[in-house]
Amino acid sequence: MIIDLIKARRAVFPAQYNDKPISKETIEKVLEAGNWAPTHKKTEPWRFKVLQGEAQEKLGLFLSLKYMETDPNPKQFKVEKLIANPKKAGAIIAVCMQRDPKDSIPEWEEIAATAMAVQNMWLCCTEMGIGSYWSSPGLIKHMGGFFNLNEGEVCLGFFYMGYYDGEIPVVSRGPVADKTVWM
């Protein structure tokens, strides 16, 4: 059942990934799942940039240099993490949002549609046994210096993907009744 898949979805971090590569065909399935997200007025605002291999290394270097340039007191452990994490992933998908040039709907709806695309991708990865993590560091505001972004396009974060060994812990949620008002 879909509810079981939803409950099984977890953030699996790059440090947990193994070295098993992710095929282009598998990434295309994940992207196809994202492409079927709901979208108001059919604007389909999600844009994806797939990074593998050398592109991941370049991303890590860019992020670490940008961090050292913008943080008045950069920490060495964070520099190293910014360099290392992209290389640990089987693939990284930069999640971008292309604003409707007509502004026909509020921007938050475009962001929400893009987030729903990521949720579809995450559920697809969960079903295929691929660990995933959506990272949205403060440095994403500088990604125009790394990617060739179109006018009105912004990067909302990075969707890290990788195969992993071991079990992902089961978590719980508070009762939905505590978060619901029946009118």
Beta bridge partners of 62: none
CA distances from 35 to 5, 65, 183 (A): 19, 33, 35
CB within 8 Å of 107: residues ≥ 6 apart = 99
CA distances from 66 to 35, 129, 145 (A): 31, 33, 10
Q: How far apart are CA 115 and CA 110, in angstroms?
A: 9
Q: How far apart are CA 132 and CA 126, in angstroms?
A: 8
Instruction: Count the neighbouring beta carbons within 10 Å of the beta carbon of residue 82.
Output: 22
Contact 129, 90 (CB under 8 A): no
Does 104 belong to an annotated binding site? Answer: no
Does 142 belong to an annotated binding site? Answer: no
Does 132 belong to an annotated binding site? Answer: no
Does 36 belong to an annotated binding site? Answer: no
| Backbone angles phi and psi of 131, in degrees to 5 | -75, 145
Residue set of the binding site for FMN: 40, 134-136
Residue set of the binding site: 40, 134-136
